[in-house]
Amino acid sequence: MNWQGVKAIYAFEMERTRRTLMQSIIGPVISTSLYFVVFGAAIGSRIQQVDGISYGAFIVPGLVMLSLLTNSISNASFGIYFPKFTGTIYELLSAPISMFEALLGYVGAAATKSLILGAIILATAGFFVPLQIAHPFLMALFLLLTCISFSLFGFIIGIWANNFEKLQLIPLLIVTPLVFLGGSFYSASMLSPFWQTVTLFNPVLYLISGFRWSFYEISDVSVGVSLAMVLVFLTACLLIVSWIFRTGYHIKK
């Protein structure tokens, strides 16, 4: 294992975050704060509580997941796509480092940035609403698995994309709508029976539900099912990445 090569890629990606601090950290924190202000003031004045939790506190897990998913995907996808775009991917391929080691560097950096962002957003949320975390270990586990899983997913998107439009296609048209419709700002129990059934087909619901349970011990689905769904998604991403490495899909062709 070429740990020096992994460290070099990881350090380069983390340094890129420092150079784009406004876009990588400050921007998402400001956006999340605006969600608290808008949804907390506008909707919170009409919905006082959801399952015994104040509405402002109820939406915290959903907002954290919204930021984690979008930023994990964008960080990892741009990290591997940009070398393809500039042609420096060939320097990486000719270097004494395997694609698995490159994956560790890119995905590790993307997941680290998302974890830092998630911690900052949680700290910011404490200024708006009183937070309680019933199961901090489980919360940290959900954070870690989500960051790694969606960083892998972003890596796959970065390999698949051959232009900047494709790079944004899945996050904007698929992931973001699924997050908004996955119980970020409401409980599935508030929906009619038909739409409750439809919502169960949204994979993001299981992420947000399990993450919310670690805070308040309330969820739309079993926390065990939520954790299993995260592991299934992580396994699927690993299998796809393994196939990419074996075939050289959009890397060596």
Residue ranges per structural domain of the chain: 3-247
Confidence category of residue 253, pLDDT binned at 50, 70, 90: low
Q: How large a percentage of the chain has pLDDT more than 90?
A: 21
Distance CA 23, CA 74 (A): 11
Confidence category of residue 44, pLDDT binned at 50, 70, 90: low
What is the model's pLDDT at position 22?
64
Q: Which two tokens stand for residue 50?
A: 């959801």
Distance CA 251, CA 93 (A): 9
- Own/partner long-range contacts of 193-201 (Cβ < 8 Å, ≥24 apart): none
Residues shown for the chain: 253
What is the model's pLDDT at position 167?
83
What is the model's pLDDT at position 21?
64
For 53, list phi and psi in degrees, rounded to 5.
Answer: -110, 140
Average per-residue pLDDT for the chain:
84
Please tell me which residue, 212 or 88, carries the higher pLDDT value: 212
Of the CA atoms within 13 Å of residue 129, those in its CB half-sphere come to 26
pLDDT at 238 over 60: yes
pTM for the predicted model, two decimal places? 0.88
What is the model's pLDDT at position 142?
92
The pLDDT of 160-177, averaged and rounded, is 85
- Own/partner long-range contacts of 123-127 (Cβ < 8 Å, ≥24 apart): 124/29, 124/32, 124/33, 125/32, 125/36, 125/60, 125/63, 125/64
What is the model's pLDDT at position 45?
60
